[in-house]
Structure 1
Amino acid sequence: MSSETERFADVTDIVSNGGRDPDGSARMLGRWTFQYTPARRFVEARLRGRVLNACAGKTKLNHDGEIVRNDLNPERDADTHHDVESIADHFGQQSFDTVVFDPPFDQKQADEKYDGLHASDVYSALDQFNELVRPRGAVLTFGWNSWGMRSFPAFEREETVLLQRGPIHRDVIVTVDRRTSATLLAHDYAGGVREGDTGADR
């Protein structure tokens, strides 16, 4: 198998940039991810139950159920302004059915587009979502890589989607990981069980 084939082996869909919305405006994936119609439609079609939009930004998602909008920027229109690295301290365990995680992908992007606000430890944020998502719930993660919730054995990968941004820009990668177990066991980057985790259901 070629390296190019291996690269796309786990990708379930590729969404090309461009085109126009019905009002004639150009479709471009920019600063506010969910102003880009394909990204918004993708996410909204997968929202179930109580939703945490962990880095909500400017755009509001449509959903029949409750959406808790969190944004670190205190000036942003949001329900809460918690740091995602400790957000589980502010909600009950397994209290959400869906988490949407669309943070600034790196410090440069944060500085240029989001007032320097940035989740410096993405793994800590994912660990928080491991505590917050109910069985059969899902975490939708946007970023430069496809890792998502792979560190947490209670989750299984359902989808990996590339949002293409053109010939000279990196694709944005979206992963959908579903919780298939009630356990809160977490693994470290090397694949071992993290110290202090028992693996018992809580």
Structure 2
Amino acid sequence: MRSSQVVLAAVIAVGLAACGSTPPPRPVAPVVPVVSTAQMAESNLSPASASLVSGRLALVPDARGVHITGVIGGLQPLQVAGFHVHERGDCSAVDASSAGAHFNPAGQPHGRNSAGAHHAGDMDNLRADAQGRVNVDIRLPAVTLGGGAATDIAGRALIVHANADDYRSQPAGNAGARIACGVIRVVR
């Protein structure tokens, strides 16, 4: 082979290699986060399943989701209780079963809010003090308050369960009876 043929073969090889390379990535549209439209909501928890548990909670959107604060009372001293957002804002059944299952718009398995895959409505357990009261201060990430998005918790129910959530059992963490229920209502 003459040197001009070797050079031509090298140019063709480089050209063919370039044709087989991965094209540059296409620009991706920026993800626009869904934002809350309500400035505040409240939930007045009433007893369910013949319990004495009740409370009043305030819900305020923040940069990561919704911040829930307030007080729940009527629990047993030092009781650990499951706490979740449920799919329907209906507390009419005596056992609060009318609130439906855990709020789970993404179809995730049940789990712990602070680690791994979980329902959007899964929260860490409540821990009562020696008087059976809980000062609630929880941040629920990746949910919104108002606006009607799939992640919107306005109009849904907050449920306190009789037992601790084990964060493993499907579909609801084996947290037992529903002992308090309150609808999340936007404050106007």
**Relative CO higher for 1 or 2, CA cutoff 8 Å, sep ≥ 6?**
2
Q: Which range, TM-score by smaller chain? A: under 0.3
TM-score between both structures, scaled by the size of structure 2: 0.23
| Larger strand share, 1 or 2 | 2
| Larger helix share, 1 or 2 | 1
TM-score between both structures, scaled by the size of structure 1: 0.22
Which has the greater radius of gyration? 2
